[in-house]
Amino acid sequence: MADSTGYLWLKTLHVIFMVAWFSGLFYLPRLFVYHTHTEEPNGYKRFNLMEWRLYYAITWPAGVVTTLCGIWMLYLQPERLAQPWLYGKLALVACLWVFHISCGYYLRHFQQQTNPKSETFYRCYNEFPTVILCLTIYLIMFKPSFSWLFPTAS
């Protein structure tokens, strides 16, 4: 099925939901930046609602579907597991999930009005998914062998 139309549809869904997932992970910390300055009760409630919807109605489903499509593609093409670059990609996906869950941690603090972080923290925090995306695209496009890490036996 690796070259079939079905596999291409699966790959297409993987990319579409990956874009949605990253969009949510780019935007949610940006909302946190603005939320740190909100003191007016209605504005605070509005940010809580926007963040909750983004996280639970968009970002979570997109992350789950992206991951499930990726697992399904590996099931259909297990030979990919012999490629060292894929392990880098999987490690980056794991890092992205840690970031995703940490967003939920901060979201809960905003919901409880106990935000522990500053605007500056969220501005820096907001850059993490960009780094993950750039590294992931590099691995997918160049498929490095990491020969320095995995030397071939002579």
Supply the pLDDT for residue 152: 64
Please compute, for residue 33, the number of CA atoms within 13 A of its CA located in the half-sphere on the CB side: 13
Supply the pLDDT for residue 3: 66
Supply the pLDDT for residue 154: 45
pTM of the model: 0.92
Give residue 151's identity as a one-letter amino acid code: P
Supply the pLDDT for residue 150: 66
Domain positions in the chain: 5-142
Q: Which residues contact 20 (CB under 8 A, 6 or more apart)?
A: 58, 59, 62
Give residue 35's identity as a one-letter amino acid code: H
Residue bearing tokens 């060292």: 84
> Digits of tens for pLDDT over the chain (154 positions)?
556 899 999 999 999 999 999 999 999 999 999 999 999 999 999 999 999 999 999 999 999 999 999 999 999 999 999 999 999 999 999 999 999 999 999 999 999 999 999 999 999 999 999 999 999 999 999 999 887 776 664 4
